Amino acid sequence: MSNEYDVEVKLLAMTPDPQTLIESAGRLCWDTRDKTGTVPGRIQRWIDVGHESMIEHASATFFIRGSRAMTHE
């Protein structure tokens, strides 16, 4: 069975340059701020070892309009 819903989604705001913000937060935690931007893939390596708290600093805000019934599917 397939249900179709009339849904509208708009991106209202987002953190500009989220990768830099995330890396800065992670490097602040590890006291390696002087190395920001020097290691490609640094954020992914932190995630791979379970250090994910710095991701919370980046954000996106969406406007979503649709049927409440959609949330019950």
Stated pTM of the model: 0.68
Q: Rounded to whole angstroms, how far apart are CA atoms 16 and 13?
A: 9
The pLDDT score that the predictor gives to residue 3 is 66
More reliable by pLDDT, 24 or 72 = 24
The pLDDT score that the predictor gives to residue 63 is 95
- CB-count burial class (<10 Å; 0-12, 13-18, 19+) for 23: buried
- Count how many residues are written for the chain: 73
Q: Give percent helix, percent strand, percent coil of the chain, each to the nearest 5.
A: 45, 20, 35
pLDDT tens digit string along 2-60?
Answer: 667 788 999 999 999 999 999 999 888 877 888 877 778 889 999 999 999 999 999 99
